[in-house]
Amino acid sequence: MLCDEFLKGADEAGHDVEKVFSRDMKVAGCIGCESCYKDGKSTGICAIKDDMEKILDKMSEADVIVLASPVYFYSVDSQMKAVIDRCFAKWKLLKNKEFYYIMTAGEDSDTVMDCTLECFRGFAKCLEGSVEKGVICAKGVYEKGEIKDTPYMKEAYEMGKNIS
């Protein structure tokens, strides 16, 4: 729901937007075979044939990337981790991207999002020219739809609307 609000704001501001929901796609985990590298250079071709190639193409074309995940055991969910790891095939081509991070957690502690956020930041740090533009830490929301009546919805909308 937060991603949808972000997209709504970005769309209303005149940006072309597309939501990629990794849960609805087939993305296997990286097996570390390094077949995407020959002679120390990226070929950009992963040995695993699934939907990740489509995701990488979309990420390559995008100026702005929003990474979103519920917090699972103080980190990103398995689908997001698979997407991040599989970027290895083309990580040197993912340059000069603006990143926004959206996270939700049932817990409301000060540190519940620390590892999740560091996972996102660690990924972006590996990409040349990446810039963090915004973070939403939606704490204390556990049940499906519970986020609807929170200030986080407006925050996500405004963040999307204010993309430069």
Domain boundaries, the chain: 2-161
Write down the pLDDT at residue 39: 81
Q: pTM of the predicted model, to two decimals?
A: 0.94
Position 38 scores a pLDDT of: 84
Residues of the chain falling short of pLDDT 70? none
| 121 residue type, one letter | R
Tell me which of 3.40.50.360, 3.10.270.10, 3.30.420.130, 3.30.110.30 is the CATH number of domain 2-161. Answer: 3.40.50.360
> Which helix (H) or strand (E) segment is 101 a member of?
strand 98-105
Size of the chain in residues: 164
Residue 80: which H helix or E strand, with range? helix 78-86
Helices 151-161 and 2-12: angle between axes, nearest 10 degrees: 30
Please report the sign of the dihedral spanned by the C-alpha atoms of residue 55, residue 60, residue 65, residue 71: positive
CB 56 within 8 A of CB 27: no
